[in-house]
Chains A and B, each alone.
Chain A
Amino acid sequence: MASEGGATGYIVHHLTPLSVGEGFWTLHLDTLFFSMVLGGVFIWFFKSQAEKATAGVPNMTQNIAEMLVEFVDGQVKDSFHGKSKLIAPLGLTIFCWVFLWNLMDLIPVDLMSLIASLMGIEYLRVVPSTDLNATFALSISVFILIIFYSIKIKGVFGFAKELTCTPFGPFLMPFNLLLKVVEEIAKPISLGLRLFGNLYAGELIFILIALLPPLIQPALSFPWAIFHILIIVLQAFIFMVLTIVYLSMAHEDH
């Protein structure tokens, strides 16, 4: 694969999304397609388990679904003290969806693009988390929820007061505002970039390993894949936990 355009060409090819449109109105079809399919998988699995959910003895798949639900519920109960119908399902959706995105990283790097090229598709990037648009779509949605709940719980004035009068009191208002704005903006940016960075780097290393001589590849890609099993779960978990923490912070009145 490294023959056409050399190593750089190979890497660039693998990291270029399948896109249509110009400028801002460009759509990354591969990101949209895979995240929708994975979202569908998530919805299908949990919907079928929710329909079968009984108080009786659960079977294997029900156990998995219930374990995930209880796991997320426990995380929410640990850090969020209050009642919200949204936060726990939001956490479950984020955890499972991001996990499924990241799971695509474990598919051999050349396999999907080979299939795509046989189907006549030139570029294909299968891991949605290596697309900044996907990770920022999540983190900006979470950011909107943070702002929404801050205003809903504390009121417009309460939120404005928190932005301007903490942590240094009302006399340092502009400084306070600057600090708070940076703090709030940092939340979605760090959320989105953390996930993107981890998965992009992971994918890049898989691509670099794929450039090595075939006999050396398994020796490197195998440990890296095992290590990546940890990374993909961990990143999904971190995204979920931080979302819950940010939203519970938004719910707390100081």
Chain B
Amino acid sequence: MSINATLIGQMITFTLLVWFTMKYVWPPIMQALEERKSKIAEGLAAAEKGQEEIKLAEKKATKLLKDAKDQAADIISSAQKRANEIVDESKINAVEEGDRMIKAAQAQIEQEISQAREGLRKDVSALALRAAEQILKEEIDKAKHKTILSKATEELG
């Protein structure tokens, strides 16, 4: 149970062990631990950030959806309005067209009537003339009463 040179041997061994641990064991393990620590911290931060981004994106998506719905509603109402307008317009157009066609038809009818009247008048005057000729043939000299006849013809025409 005496203190002896074993002590010195043990101290040398101990020194070597401590030196080796200090030089080759401690630094790499600590470095790895630090790296892992920062990695985990980064990962957690990234996860948090991702979650926030998801929230933002959700908000954005709902807003977009709402906008789209509003827009669709606007489009539908304006389309309906436009359709109504078109229907009204075409109604008015149709009425106008009908009026126009009626007027044209009436004009044509009137024209035809006046033409017929003209023809009839000519026929009547010719008939009258002939009749008058027939009557007057015996009594009136054609050349002598020419001016009176043409005047009557003009008055008829």
Measured CB to CB, the residues of A under 8 A from B are: 21, 23-28, 31-32, 35-36, 39, 42-43, 46-47, 49-51, 53-56, 65-66, 69-70, 73, 85-86, 88-90, 92-93, 97, 128, 131-134, 136-138, 140-141
Contacts and interface: CB of A to CB of B under 8 A. Distances in A.
Contacts of A70: 33
Given A54-B32, A66-B29, A66-B33, A97 B17 contact: yes
Contact of B30 (A21, A32, A69, A141): A69
Interface of B: 1-11, 13-18, 20-22, 24-26, 28-33, 35-36, 39
Q: Is the interface of A mostly helix, strand, loop or mixed?
A: helix
B22 A89 contact: yes
A136 B3 contact: yes
Contacts, number: 118
Given A50-B29, A85-B22, A140 B11 contact: yes
Contacts of A141: 11, 14-15
A132 B31 CA distance: 37
B18 A137 contact: no
Contacts of A55: 32, 35-36, 39
A33 B21 CA distance: 20
B29 A69 contact: yes
Contacts of A56: 36
